Structure 1
Amino acid sequence: MNRMEFPGGGGEAQIRYLDGDFKIVRPGSYVRCAISSRPILIQDLKYWSVERQEAYVDADAALEAYRRHNKL
């Protein structure tokens, strides 16, 4: 399964983040940002960490996660 097989579905999705793509493990319409806890619609998901298996709402949140993880 990939992101196109579940176009909606309500509720929070569970996702496995891969390099350049992701796999939906449990269908839903959104995931939560690991930094802000804001919901991110699946169709708007652009930033995530494969290593930490977390999603980020935007580039700033992804940078903050990188800084926290790498203590910069």
Structure 2
Amino acid sequence: MMSSNTARPARLHFMANGFRVLTPGDHVVCGVSGTAIPLDALRYWSVAKQEAYASADIATKAMATT
């Protein structure tokens, strides 16, 4: 029987050019807004903070406060 990752958050390690899945799931949570981001739509993250962002605007604002 195959297990489903539906509605299960993934745990990722963010790197400069991608990410490694540490715990399988179908989404991550935005570090600022709390929005669920499907893994196939994940485009923005911080390597230093190890957090994902739902949009370029959110990522820019989060990195400006560093």
User: Does the 8 Å contact 1:35/1:64 carry over to 2?
Assistant: no
What percent identity do the matched residue pairs reach? 34
Q: Which runs of 4+ in 1 moved over 3 A?
A: none
Aligned to 1:27: 24
TM superposition score normalised by structure 2:
0.88
**As a proportion of its length, which structure holds more helix?**
1
TM superposition score normalised by structure 1:
0.81
User: Does the 8 Å contact 1:14/1:25 carry over to 2?
Assistant: yes
Aligned to 1:12: 9
C-alpha displacement at 1:60, in angstroms?
0.4
Equivalent-residue separation in structure 2 for 1:52 and 1:66 (angstroms): 9
- What is the number of residues matched between the two proteins? 62
| Superposition CA RMSD, Å | 1.1
Unaligned runs of 5+ in 2: none
Unaligned runs of 5+ in 1: 1-7
